[in-house]
Chains A and B, each alone.
Chain A
């Protein structure tokens, strides 16, 4: 996936990117909370052309028994890409990629949700990607955090999903589809905006330590911008009264 360096031009002569963004500029983001009437909590996030919807059910009795933990709740995350979310249709069903993303997302969320409040129970988090344009795992984490807050699940902080990467040797914030396909590195992170901790961290490609530091700086900047939108979405939904 990485390593197409040189074949495809991703930066304009004036240093801007193909879609006109500056290197440290993210795509436009829109967030709504409380969008699914049947779920206990839900959120809708549009990030660039990505569209993700997250639903939360629970806490509920954990079945089957063997998944129960006597001292805390388990968070059961399913990240799923709709068949029509990518340019080539995806065959429905779990695959290795979605299983891995579901696992690390669940573990990230378990580090902020006060799971010890609900021993033996289960909190179901369903992340559905309806349209994918690079960076869906991050959009999914953002959506899941807002949906958990909307469901009244206690958390010590939310998690913001953000990513930076490298194209043509230049570190840029928030890779779009072409940049993801032909770039040299991708650094997705889940950041706790209030404490600055990282609950989710992946990376692939090739980054020097200096490049990593810059990408990291971009991610933290983007996280605080997205955090404001997450808060606003929740406050809007709370004051509407039907959260």
Chain B
């Protein structure tokens, strides 16, 4: 990967590595302070830009943040709420009042049951990491059709591509509706041939995304660019 960050310095670091940065540089994500110096806390690429040093991790799990668009699976149903597995360290709570339907108390199960998938938004994450999700909002709904591909969240940038071009190409070549979410779950909906193409491209990104030559490998799956 070449640097496009206009002079930002790139190198791979492992946890514990001391970071050489100009005095006064602040620790960003994946970086902490040890005395007066900065130390990497994650495996990944070090970026120093402006007065902040941070590490773009090679691998990371999804950590919910408010505003995130996510795909969750119903893990449990109570009388008045659903628990959603959003692939993070804690499940999310979807109260009846934030569902898109008018739900009678005790009738939550009639709308969504165990194993159902939903497109939702993270509304709130408090300090103890309790997560509340909502289905009130444009496009948020129970997912009835399509295929969900699980992409490690740190590779979502590659799926989207610069200025969203890779995602556009995926949609065009597969003729599918593709919804990418912050928790790495990608909904692909269309005919089976298109789904197969999209899945093949995503699988390739998952397995070899960081290796050089991604563009030409995408071409061989999606057909030539333009």
Contacts and interface: CB of A to CB of B under 8 A. Distances in A.
Interface string B31-70: 0101000010111100000000000011111000000000
Interface residues of B, number: 31
Given A61-B90, A241-B211, A155 B129 contact: no
Interface in B1-53: 12, 14-18, 30, 32, 34, 39, 41-44
A240 B211 CA distance: 7
Contact of A156 (B34, B58, B127): B34
A121 B12 contact: no
A112 B32 CA distance: 12
Interface string A125-136: 000000000000
A152 B14 contact: no
The range of chain A's interface size is: 35 or more
A154 B41 contact: yes
B32 A156 contact: yes
A238 B12 contact: yes
B59 A41 contact: yes
Nearest to A58: B89
Greatest chain B CB density within 10 A among A158, A193, A241 is at A241
A231 interface: yes
Given A70-B128, A157-B16, 18 more contacts: A40-B61, A58-B61, A119-B129, A120-B128, A120-B129, A150-B59, A152-B42, A152-B60, A156-B41, A192-B16, A194-B34, A195-B34, A235-B12, A235-B14, A241-B207, A241-B209, A242-B208, A243-B58
The 5 closest A-B pairs by CB, nearest first: A241-B210, A157-B16, A59-B89, A121-B89, A154-B41
